[in-house]
Chain A
């Protein structure tokens, strides 16, 4: 995962606003267990990603998040002892003891899995759409070195990916019996990553990083329409999520028996997230750099 350049309101907005937007979506996912609301949050992230031009990056993130979610959904019934509707009796299992799989445990696992997907996608949206240099600038007065390390870590991913692809290609030119084993190749890629890290560290030293001084406060920047729009959407998403939670919308209880609120207010709440996420991104004036 790395930052992708695109002409969108999310890219054009300042990193503080864009970061808050992604954080608000992630926070909304953490506030709810209801699959209906979580589906709304996931839809919001996907809509925002598509409008920001980073849909393929979200798709790649989903390829990692969805299997993880499936694992969570499958593991929960194995470790949960709650739920009334037994769907399978597996008897005595060493270490785990008596194991009865319940429909409620499966449902709760699925809800947890949806939350994993939502949080993963929100993080992917942040990585793909928010300029790491801007984020670095945002935090440099607080902890410049930590911010730079985090920024470099994301930037080195594609470089290391290219290195690994190059090594794999070189191996393809060799006779099958002369090719390195997979563990040896993984080891070489890891060693190469360390080499790259040393090179980057040397480059940073040469740019005066070792003697870095606390930077002066940056001059205030005027707020653009995208700064305002994205920040407003972030506030609205977070406020809606908190208000909905406080007023009991999107209720979900898996145990002892499954209960999901499906009232109109919950459905409206779920539908409001994609709408709020999409609105500022529909503004296309001044998005190009």
Chain B
């Protein structure tokens, strides 16, 4: 029996020139886990909005077709009624959590339904236990981390035991650890509670292994509706930006069918006798694979001061200790050469953003010194924060707009830009000149470019564009410091990876060394190949996989 049925759905947002969804039809059965795939602007969020009743009851617009959720027709029932059968989780947990404590948050949907106090208390306890947040029940929501907030919001969506959960990129604000945990939590709930799940996600490699089916949207239309492996086979031909790195790896190595996940990929390689030698065992050389920052800070500083050109940026023994709070950075020694791209990685709260702020002079170290060869341009996590004005053309000069490829958008309001366009415009603004502190301000191009999570919530198409921009800046001689959870991006552009843990540098070395041996802070290719050959990207992995076959063919 279908818990969600969409028939011939077309929707146009108010004032939009073209529909966000065109003649979309699909069904989701009880207990299914379906992933919604698509590039930014393909209609994923609109489809989820239509399923939970926000479209059209809350967001307005023109709607044709029919959506039925748990037997409720969304033309007749608003989101309040639909909430009884469908739980919804949107991207930004901060504005979805509306109560002061976790307990009150989980209780709200049940209380809205007029449940008796006993039923409310039981629902709260069960949702908390299912999500592993029982110890958070009396914590204030204002003190929770991003991952905890997202779990609490999911708990509130689940507290009423809905028949279906609708999730719009719930992992976009999370680090890889919390993101993976959330996806597997959804799978567990799907299996144990039998609740159907519809999950819109950009990072398909994170969730395809858990999915029963994938619905791919292209320009507001359903382009593919198939099990993960078949969808990947379709994507490799029709929409390569939607294919996972694993699928690209297999395609480049001439292997079929594409794998839905790491486990499947490894099984497939084993069956073909193509398991490369593990990096860790390929000589004890890997013992230094993760070059841990050892020795005293002074020794480390001496060791890292080779004769050569002056660094673009140097942090010497930088500490950041919050007054009355925790120590965010501990004795950070870091040098960035001109033209070098360094990826800063680590879980949420490891100190990446704070380090970037110190580099840009937005913060002063409580101990230590920061020196830059010139201006440090920094693009923070929310590009919209830079775009203050009513017209794109008013924000920067025409040549800067043209250089960013945005001259055609000069008359638009900044809020009407897509996520990628906002990032590009904000990047054009921060690199255009100036910056704090005053004594470090110089004219001309920046000596250092800092980027804080520039692919957060962005699709793969933007990642490719960003990689080109970063390379161009580096080629111009700027040192680039890139704080990211996106290992694929780090592998693509960074020559060096610095891994932060609890404010300390726990590994610092070439990307191939630091990323290849990891599990969370690594690429899907490296996971599949278990770090063999230091291959991080599909093309490198495919070369590794083709080598034994080529040798065999030669024999």
Contacts and interface: CB of A to CB of B under 8 A. Distances in A.
Contacts of B54: 202, 205-206
B534 to A, nearest CB: 35
A227 B79 CA distance: 39
Contacts of B94: 159
A188 interface: yes
Interface in A42-98: none
Interface in A197-246: 199-216, 218-219
A169 B380 contact: yes
B100 A216 contact: no
Closest 3 CB pairs of A and B: A175-B434, A210-B80, A211-B80
B396 A208 contact: no
B95 A289 contact: no
Contacts of A159: 94-95
Interface in B29-82: 52-54, 57-58, 78-81
Contact of A155 (B96, B98, B109, B360): B98
A286 interface: no
Interface residues on B, range: 35 or more
A264 interface: no
A205 B432 contact: no
Nearest to A135: B100
B432 A215 contact: no
Contacts of B92: 199
B380 A173 contact: yes
Contacts of B237: none
B385 interface: yes
A180 interface: yes
Interface stretch (B110-118, B190-198, B335-343): B110-118
Given A173-B436, A174-B429, A203-B98, A185 B388 contact: yes
Given A188-B388, A205-B58, A205-B80, A170 B98 contact: no
Interface residues on A, range: 35 or more
A123 B377 CA distance: 44
A213 B113 contact: yes
Interface string B365-392: 0000000000001111010011011000
Greatest chain A CB density within 10 A among B53, B58, B108, B430 is at B108
Contacts of A167: 385, 388
A21 to B, nearest CB: 19
A213 B108 CA distance: 12
B386 A166 contact: no
B441 A216 contact: no
Nearest to A148: B98
A199 B95 contact: yes
Given A172-B362, A216-B117, A218-B117, A155 B380 contact: no
Given A166-B382, A172-B436, A208 B98 contact: no
A263 interface: no
A174 B388 CA distance: 12
Nearest to A191: B415
Contacts of B160: 208
A208 B161 CA distance: 13
Contact of B112 (A187, A199, A213): A213
A73 B235 CA distance: 73
Interface stretch (B83-91, B275-283, B542-550): B83-91
A289 to B, nearest CB: 5
Contacts of A185: 388
A210 B79 contact: yes
Interface of A: 2-3, 5, 131-133, 136, 140, 151-152, 155, 158-159, 166-167, 169-178, 180, 184-185, 187-188, 191, 196, 199-216, 218-219, 289
B59 to A, nearest CB: 8
B380 A166 contact: yes
24 contacts: A5-B143, A133-B101, A155-B98, A155-B100, A171-B388, A173-B362, A173-B377, A174-B434, A175-B432, A175-B441, A178-B433, A180-B389, A187-B388, A196-B95, A199-B90, A204-B98, A205-B57, A208-B160, A209-B80, A210-B78, A210-B81, A213-B112, A218-B117, A219-B117
Greatest chain A CB density within 10 A among B96, B157, B396 is at B96
A170 B441 CA distance: 16
A201 B109 CA distance: 14
Nearest to B436: A172
Nearest to A158: B142
B389 A207 contact: no
A206 B380 contact: no
Contact of A215 (B52, B98, B111): B111
Nearest to A197: B95
B435 interface: yes
A122 to B, nearest CB: 21
B441 to A, nearest CB: 7
Nearest to B443: A175
Given A170-B380, A173-B378, A211 B112 contact: yes
A203 B435 contact: no
B348 to A, nearest CB: 16
Contact of A206 (B83, B114, B441): B83
Given A140-B111, A215-B114, A170 B385 contact: yes
B52 A206 contact: yes
Contacts of B429: 174, 178
Contact of B98 (A158, A174, A175, A207): A207
B223 interface: no
B66 to A, nearest CB: 20
Contacts of B435: 172-175
Contacts of B99: 133, 136, 151, 155
B124 to A, nearest CB: 13
Contacts of A210: 78-81
A216 B360 CA distance: 55
A246 to B, nearest CB: 39
Given A166-B380, A166-B385, A200 B433 contact: no
Greatest chain A CB density within 10 A among B90, B95, B160, B430 is at B95
A70 to B, nearest CB: 30
A173 B430 CA distance: 7
A100 to B, nearest CB: 50
B132 interface: no
B138 interface: yes
A57 to B, nearest CB: 14
Contacts of A213: 112-114
B434 A212 contact: no
Interface in B141-159: 142-143, 156-157
A178 B434 contact: yes
A91 B113 CA distance: 68
Contact of A205 (B78, B95, B157, B385): B78
Contacts of A131: 100-101
Contacts of A5: 140, 143
Nearest to A172: B436
Contacts of B378: 173
Contacts of B436: 172-173
A64 B283 CA distance: 68
Contacts of B84: 208, 211
B104 interface: yes
Greatest chain A CB density within 10 A among B84, B114, B160 is at B114
Nearest to A180: B388
A207 B83 contact: yes
Nearest to A140: B111
Contacts of A202: 54, 58, 79, 90
